[in-house]
Structure 1
Amino acid sequence: MTKRQYAYARTGQREAGAPQFVVNGRFATPYRGDAALARAIDSADRQAAGPAISLRAGGVVIGADARSARDVAVWLVEHDPRTIRTPVHAGRNGGRALADRSAACALRRLGG
């Protein structure tokens, strides 16, 4: 997961991290309820291509539409709901132990 965070940071983000949601590969947002997530999805500019994303019946629906010009991959990031203290060895938090809640523990490709 650390390698993935640094790869994400190289896409133009300010620092390495683990956003809860990344919409259309460009827009990161924490989860603040279904309505806020729906607004984030609606506001993320898909430009000329990208998957159609919507919230329906308590789930996320990802599919193609007329503007989708390429295949997409859908990944599920599984998390550990416990609070885990992790020692930090470098950077601005070096020497501290940070409490992480819902830390990512597995990455699984669902389709695409």
Structure 2
Amino acid sequence: MIVNGRDAVLGSREGELNQAIARNVNKAGPEIAVAGNRVTVGAGKGSATVWVVRYDPRTIDVAINAGENGGRTIPHRNVVRDLTSLGQWQGKSASFTLPSAPAGLATAVLVQQGKGGPIVAARKI
């Protein structure tokens, strides 16, 4: 698992995963507000890409063919089906239009610094 674009941890190592999450807790990101089909990212430090994530909220059982879990069926949750950039946020309050959500998919908005960098704000819609 990748935690906040910074730490890579095997998901089966619960203690290490909890430590990585604790190290990456974000306390100073911009606020994300949603009204209708508009999302507004409030003022904050730095610049970032604003992403809309569409994911399947159901549990999906997946047969694993190789690796440490080979031969097992593992439940997957919140499988991302689409990731779309809404645009760039430059540290000032900015609004973006949310595209329509496909039926059956849930939505989240992420504000991410750099390519694959830390998530500085997130909101499930």
TM range (shorter): 0.3 to 0.5
Higher relative contact order (CA 8 A, sep 6+): 2
Structure-1-length-normalised TM-score: 0.46
User: Greater share of strand residues, 1 or 2?
Assistant: 2
Structure-2-length-normalised TM-score: 0.42
